[in-house]
Amino acid sequence: MSRYRLEYAINEKIRFLSHRELMTSLQRSLRRASFPFAYSHGFNQRPKFSFGPPLGVGIAGLREYLDVELVEEIAQEEYLQRLQQQLPLGIEAHRLVLVPPGDAGLGKFINCACYQVLVPDSLGISWDKLLQDLEEGDPWWYERPNDGKVFNMSAGIIKSRFQQDEGDLYLEFLLKIGPGEVPVRGLLDVLSSKANAASLPPFRTTRTGLYRQENNCFISPMGEIEVIFEG
């Protein structure tokens, strides 16, 4: 059997799909593209898929990932084109690569994610000062409404910065995935509260990358070392 890793994007058109709906859509598209799936054993056999960390509902994703096990090796570019023809509007397949034997799966590999939040430019808020307070001041706490779980939002942030690009204003965050992870929705709610601003809705948020942080290096699931928050 061979394991392949797909890099794909979820754009604004379908950002309100749930993770389960996204999984179903991708699996159906792969099946229609005639990928030779490997199946689990037992009575209820299923194709062997492994998805990266779920996107929150309302959040777009520029570089998302899934692993799929196949019974044989395939022509990667040919099957990538087949898949793109079957995907629904709003999902774009970017790359398909063969994963070397023994490489970690997505769940074990990814430990951080980068998010970009488009913020209003007419509120007179000092976003730089707000981020400095978030990273260096007292912890920011958030209680999740549905279960009452409390998060230290400050501890879940690895890096943050305020950016301006062609008139648009952005907050960028590098957040932990796994131990110490905080909910993105909670981060937006806390920022809104601290800024005394209207709620920053999920449709303003994009996950721009998933990585493994090792010391000061950031490695993508495709094995590329990238520079984060510089330049």
- Please spell the DSSP secondary structure of the chain, one letter per residue: -EEEEEEEEE-GGGTT--HHHHHHHHHHHHHHTT--B-B--SSS--B-EEE-SPPPTT-EEEEEEEEEEESS---HHHHHHHHHHHSPTTEEEEEEEEPPTTPPPHHHH--EEEEEEEE-SSS---HHHHHHHHHHSSPPEEE-TTT--EEETGGGEEEEEEEEETTEEEEEEEEE-STT---HHHHHHHHHHHHT-----GGGEEEEEEEEEETTEEE-TTS-EE--S--
Q: Cα(140)–Cα(151) distance, rounded to whole angstroms? A: 8
Q: What is the mean pLDDT of residues 108-122?
A: 89
The predicted structure's pLDDT at residue 13: 84
Which pairs from 36-41 meet CB under 8 Å and 24+ separation?
Answer: 36/70, 36/71, 36/72, 36/74, 37/68, 37/69, 37/70, 37/71, 38/1, 38/69, 38/70, 38/71
pLDDT per residue as tens digits for the range 183-227 = 998 888 888 887 776 555 544 899 999 999 998 899 999 999 998
Query: What is the value of pTM for the model shown?
Result: 0.91
pLDDT per residue as tens digits for the range 96-113 = 999 999 999 999 999 999
pLDDT per residue as tens digits for the range 166-180 = 778 889 999 999 999
To the nearest whole number, what is the mean pLDDT of the chain? 89
The predicted structure's pLDDT at residue 200: 54
**Domains plus CATH for the chain?**
2-104 (3.30.70.580), 110-226 (3.30.70)
